[in-house]
Amino acid sequence: MKPKFRAVIFPKPYSKGEFPLFIQIYFNTKRSYISAGYSIPAGAWNEDNAEVWESMPSLTKKLKETLKEDEIKAFKEKQKSIILLPNAEKINADIREIIAKLEEILKGLEVNKQEISAEILKRLYENKDKNENARKDFIQYIQQVASRKFQNRQIRTAEKYEVMMRKLKAFRHDKPLPIDELTTSLLKDFQLYLVKQECHVNYIHVNLKALRTIIQKEAIKEDKILPPDKNPFISFDMPKVLPSRKEKLDMKEIESLEALKYPESDIHFHIRNAFLFSLYNAGIRIGDLLQLKWCNIRAGRLEYNMGKTGKIRSIRLLPQALKILDFYKPSMNKESDFIFPFLDNGAEYARLISPEDFQKASPEMLAYLFKRVECKIAECNAGLKGIAIKAGIKKKLQNHISRHSFADMARKKGISIYDISKMLGHSDISVTQGYIKSLDIEAMDNAMEEVFNK
C-alpha cells in the first residue's frame, strides 16, 4: 500500500468563519497534515474532486436524464451554496504543486529503500520548504522559527527572536538575507551596526547570542538547512558581557522599609509588601510573585512552579511572610484569586492555575498574561524608586534586589552555597557561585585589612 495525498479542509473554521486548507498524508492508518497556506469559505470547496470550485457545475441534458426529481432539486440547492473565488485556479495549482513535491520525496525514499511514514513525508517536505525559503531569505526563516516557538508556548523565546530579527531587518534595510550571505563578515558588520546604534554591549551580546542559537540549534541541528561547517559563528568572537553591579540591602535598610507607613489605598503600600514578601521567601522572582494565588499556600508553606525553570519550589512561610498574608486574606473570595492586587481576578488568564492549565492555554492567552506581568513589574520598579527615597535608601531599589539581599544575608549567616543555591532555585550551583562572588565585597575588604594588620 502506497501513501495517499489528498487536499482537505479542516472541520472547524478559524475566527473569520473560513476553513483552513491542508494536504492530508495517509499511510498505514496514520495521518499527517501540511498547511496549503489558504483558508476558504465552506461553499468554495468541491469535496468530490478535493479542490476549490473553479466554475459553477451545470445541469446538462444528459445529467437530467440520469437524475431523479429529488436529486435534481438537491443539485440546484447545491448550486446556490457554491462560492467561486477569484483565486480558485491559483489555489488548486498550489495544491497540485504540494502533492507533486510529496510524490517526488516519496519516490526518493522508495529508490533509496528508506523508511516511509506519514510523519517522515511531512517532515521532509517541510524541511525542503524551509530550505528553499532560507536560501532566499534567512530572515524569513527566523520568523518561522519564532512562530514555531510561539505556538509551542515558548513566548519569551519567541519575543527574543523577533526583537533580534527586527534589528537584523533594519541592518539589512529590509532586503532579504540569502543563506549564502550568512558569513562571519556579516556578523561583524551586524555587530558594528548595533554599536553605531549606541546599543549597550550586553544588549549586543544578547542579540548575537539569539542569532547563534537559531543557527546552531534550529538551522543546523533541527532543520538541517545549513551544514555545520558553514556555521558563521565558528570564527566569530562574541562580545564580552560586562558584569552588572548587584545591589543589596543591609538589615538597617530592610528595617527602614518595614517601618514605612502608607495608607492601604496607596499602591506603594502593596509594592513594598510584595518586595518584602519576596525577601522573606528566598528571593522569589517578581514575575512568579505577581502570579501567586491562594491555592499556592498549603499547610504553612508556599508551593509554586518557577516560571523561569519550571521547577517546583516549597518554602516554609516565616512569621514575617505570614503577617503580610494575614493582611490580604480577608479580601480573598476563592482560592484561585491572586494574593497581591496587581493582576485581574476576572480576566481569562486568571483561570490558569496548574501547570497543565498553562500547557493547554493558547499561545495568545499566555502572551497576553506575560505582557500584563511585564507591565506590573515595570510599575513595581517605578514605585520602588519613591519607596527608596522615603526610606532614606540611596541605592537604586528594584524588585530583583530582594533576591540579592536574601543571598547576601544567607552567606553572612554561614549557610552553605549548596543550600543557598537550592533556596534561590538555581539550576546550577555555578550560577550561585557567580551570584555570591559579586556580592562578597566585604570579605575582600576584610582580607585587605588583614594583609596590613600588625
pLDDT in tens, the chain (454 residues): 899 999 999 887 775 678 889 999 999 999 999 988 888 998 899 998 999 999 888 777 777 778 788 888 787 888 888 899 999 999 999 999 999 999 999 998 888 888 899 988 988 887 766 666 677 889 988 988 888 888 788 889 999 999 999 999 999 999 999 988 999 999 999 999 999 999 999 999 999 999 999 999 999 988 888 889 999 999 999 999 887 777 888 899 999 999 999 999 999 999 999 999 999 988 889 999 999 999 999 999 999 988 766 678 888 999 999 999 999 999 999 999 999 999 999 999 999 988 888 888 888 889 899 999 999 999 999 999 999 999 999 988 998 888 888 877 777 767 766 666 666 766 666 666 665 655 555 554 555 455 556 5
Residue 423 host element (H or E) = helix 417-424
pTM for this structure?
0.64
Q: What are phi and psi of 180, to 5 degrees?
A: -65, -20
137-230: CATH class: mainly alpha
Measured distance CA(277)–CA(269) in Å, rounded: 12
Residue 254's pLDDT is: 92
3-state percent breakdown (helix, strand, coil) of the chain, nearest 5:
60, 10, 35
Q: How far is CA 230 from CA 181, 225, 421, in A?
A: 11, 10, 39
Domain 137-230 matches domain 251-445 at the CATH topology level: no
Which residue from 424, 447, 448, 445 is spatially nearest to 434, judged by alpha carbons?
A: 424
For residue range 173-225, what is the model confidence (pLDDT) as tens digits? 999 999 889 999 999 999 999 999 999 999 999 999 999 999 999 999 888 88
Residue 213's pLDDT is: 97
Measured distance CA(256)–CA(272) in Å, rounded: 11
Which residue from 377, 348, 353 is spatially nearest to 364, judged by alpha carbons?
A: 348
Residue 79's pLDDT is: 81
Indicate the domain borders of the chain. Answer: 4-111, 137-230, 251-445
Centre a 10 Å sphere on the Cβ of residue 367 and count the other Cβ atoms it contains. Answer: 17
Q: How far is CA 388 from CA 76, 159, 260, 272, in A?
A: 78, 32, 10, 10
Residue 327's pLDDT is: 94
CB contact at 8 A, 351 and 293: no
Centre a 10 Å sphere on the Cβ of residue 43 and count the other Cβ atoms it contains. Answer: 13
The CATH number of domain 251-445 is 1.10.10.10: no
Residue 185's pLDDT is: 96
Residue 130's pLDDT is: 63
Largest CA distance in the chain: 119
**293 strand-pairing partners:** 338
Please say whether the dihedral angle defined by the alpha carbons of residues 63, 65, 66 and 68, taken in this order, is positive or negative. positive
Measured distance CA(358)–CA(230) in Å, rounded: 38
Residue 448's pLDDT is: 46
Residue with cell 514605585: 383
For residue range 318-369, what is the model confidence (pLDDT) as tens digits? 999 999 999 999 999 999 999 999 999 999 999 998 888 888 888 888 989 9
Separation of first and last alpha carbons in the chain:
92
- Where residue 196 falls (left for φ over 0; alpha for ψ -120 to 50; beta otherwise) is alpha
The DSSP secondary-structure symbol of 295 reads: G
Q: What are phi and psi of 19, to 5 degrees?
A: -100, 125
Residue 361's pLDDT is: 84
